[in-house]
């Protein structure tokens, strides 16, 4: 009628006799080893609207970001991965793998971790907006997102964060003067380098009273097309501003090539690399330049030969066409009317009352006189 229950050993000796091993795991702690995955507030997940969830999630993002950044052995390796993450790909040029065997053998960088961090930053931003949080924690979270997203060349993350800090949060929880100067400088550079909105950049400067000489020089170089000033300013700014200025590098290089190509026949390779900030071999492939290289010089166009014949056929054709167009409309020059010759005379014949003698009568008199 009654089923026999299994005998469970209670002492350690009885456990050893039964051939079982006592577990050493502490079951009082939580069993979840992975962080809790949150969704976007815009998609209906409102868990990140809670303040405690925001703070724990922000701590997780910081830990993952710093751990990933510190795992790189050198700064160039980190810069390479951050440049590969850039969505616009407006600043860096990577030669194709077929050109070099060394690059073909190197594996592509794994961008999964950084992409997940960017997505987590977006989730946190939407949670902060949904909760309308404007305290010091929100300020520090937005500042972290701005700086990290700038290094990862992701304007979709840092541009709205900067605007929220300056135009929304600053009114309720004022920022310090160094923070305003830093964020407004980032915003000015983004408007000038990414969208060429120079008027908006100077409006931000006037609104927040930005005092940053290097930012002013960078925008002045873009407005004036001064590529020498742009390169020198880019070397003097910090890493965050340099990353934002990278978005205008390709346009500055193209402008420098146009200026050099229209002003010189031949230039040194070092001079061209200084104007563009890029090696000649990489520059040639990036912009598909057809200039020739001869003994350390770049031949842009050939000079006229010894006989004076220009080797540029296009210029001669333009001159002929211009001459043909202007000839039918040219006005003929009027020939000057010849002036009557007046022989000099003396005595009475020179006065206006003297009557000129007839040549026939003079000849008749001479014949009659001597005949």
Between 19 and 46, the more confident residue is 46
pTM for this prediction: 0.68
- Within a domain: 277: no
Indicate the pairing of strand 297-299 with strand 266-268. antiparallel
Q: What is the pLDDT of residue 156?
A: 92
Closest CA to 143 of 96, 175, 104: 175
Helix, strand and coil percent figures for the chain, each rounded to 5? 60, 0, 35
Q: What is the pLDDT of residue 324?
A: 63
Phi–psi pair at 267, nearest 5 degrees: -140, 155
Q: What is the pLDDT of residue 192?
A: 95
pLDDT at 117 over 60: yes
pLDDT at 23 over 60: no
Task: For residue 100, name the pLDDT band (cuts at 50, 70, 90).
Answer: very low
How far apart are alpha carbons 49 and 125 in whole angstroms? 10
- Within a domain: 362: no
Average pLDDT over residues 172-197: 94
Task: For residue 296, name the pLDDT band (cuts at 50, 70, 90).
Answer: confident
Of 126-130, 191-195, 214-218, 328-332, the one with minimum mean pLDDT is 328-332
Q: What is the pLDDT of residue 17?
A: 54
The answer for residues whose C-beta is within 8 angstroms of residue 243's C-beta and 6 or more apart is 150, 151, 153
How far apart are alpha carbons 234 and 221 in whole angstroms? 10
Write out pLDDT tens, residues 255-281: 999 999 989 889 999 999 999 999 999
How far apart are alpha carbons 120 and 37 in whole angstroms? 9
Between 168 and 107, the more confident residue is 168
- Within a domain: 114: yes
Between 27 and 109, the more confident residue is 109
Residue labelled with tokens 């390709």: 250
The H or E element that residue 233 is part of is helix 227-236
Number of domains in the chain: 1
- Within a domain: 48: yes
Average pLDDT over residues 113-131: 91
Task: For residue 163, name the pLDDT band (cuts at 50, 70, 90).
Answer: very high
Average pLDDT over residues 183-192: 96
Write out pLDDT tens, residues 54-99: 999 999 999 998 888 777 776 777 777 777 776 444 444 344 433 4
User: Residue 19 has what DSSP assignment?
Assistant: T
Q: What is the pLDDT of residue 89?
A: 41
Edge-to-edge order in the sheet of strand 266-268: 266-268, 297-299, 292-294
Q: What is the pLDDT of residue 147?
A: 93
Between 15 and 237, the more confident residue is 237
Instruction: Decide: 165 and 183 in contact? Cβ < 8 Å.
Output: yes
Domain that holds residue 157: 39-94+109-164
How far apart are alpha carbons 196 and 190 in whole angstroms? 9
pLDDT at 348 over 50: no
Average pLDDT over residues 22-29: 50
Instruction: Decide: 145 and 124 in contact? Cβ < 8 Å.
Output: yes
pLDDT over 90, % of the chain: 44
pLDDT at 309 over 60: no
CA angle 42, 152, 89 (to 5 degrees): 100
- Within a domain: 23: no
DSSP-derived secondary structure for 238-277 = -HHHHHHHGGGHHHHHHHHHHHHHHH-SEEEHHHHHHHHT
Instruction: Decide: 36 and 52 in contact? Cβ < 8 Å.
Output: no
Question: On the CB side of 230, how many CA atoms lie within 13 Å of its CA?
Answer: 27
- Within a domain: 132: yes
- Within a domain: 104: no
């Amino acid at each position: 009628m009654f089923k026999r229950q299994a005998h469970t050993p209670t002492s350690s000796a009885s456990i050893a006799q039964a051939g079982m091993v006592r577990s050493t795991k502490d079951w009082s702690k939580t069993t979840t080893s992975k962080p809790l995955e949150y969704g976007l507030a815009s998609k209906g997940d409102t868990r990140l609207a809670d303040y405690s969830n925001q703070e724990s999630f922000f701590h997780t993002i910081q830990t993952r970001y710093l751990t990933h950044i510190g795992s790189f052995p050198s700064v160039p390796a980190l810069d390479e991965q951050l440049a590969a993450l850039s969505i616009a790909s407006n600043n860096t040029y990577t030669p194709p793998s077929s050109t070099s065997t060394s690059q073909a053998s190197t594996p592509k960088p794994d961008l999964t971790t950084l992409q997940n961090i960017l997505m987590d930053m977006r989730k946190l931003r939407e949670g902060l907006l949904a909760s309308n949080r404007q305290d010091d924690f929100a300020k520090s979270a937005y500042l972290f997102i701005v700086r990290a997203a700038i290094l990862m060349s992701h304007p979709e993350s840092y541009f709205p964060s900067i605007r929220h800090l300056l135009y929304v949060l600053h009114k309720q929880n004022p920022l310090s003067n160094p923070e305003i100067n830093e964020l407004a400088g980032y915003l000015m550079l983004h408007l000038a380098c990414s969208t060429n909105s120079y008027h908006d950049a100077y409006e931000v400067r006037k609104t927040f009273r930005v005092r940053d000489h290097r930012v002013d020089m960078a925008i002045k170089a873009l407005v004036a097309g001064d590529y020498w000033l742009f390169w020198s300013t880019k070397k003097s700014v910090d890493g965050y501003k340099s990353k934002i200025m990278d978005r205008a590098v390709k346009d500055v290089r193209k402008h420098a090539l146009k200026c050099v190509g229209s002003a010189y026949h031949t230039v040194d390779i070092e001079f061209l690399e200084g104007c563009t900030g890029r090696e000649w071999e990489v520059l040639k492939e990036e912009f598909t330049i057809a200039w020739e290289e001869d003994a350390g010089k770049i031949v842009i166009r050939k000079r006229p030969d010894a006989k004076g014949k220009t080797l540029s056929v296009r210029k001669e054709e333009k001159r002929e066409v211009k001459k043909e167009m202007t000839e039918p409309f040219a006005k003929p020059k009027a020939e000057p009317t010849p002036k009557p010759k007046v022989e000099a005379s003396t005595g009475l014949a020179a006065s206006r009352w003297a009557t000129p003698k007839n040549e026939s009568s003079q000849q008749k008199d001479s014949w009659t006189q001597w005949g």
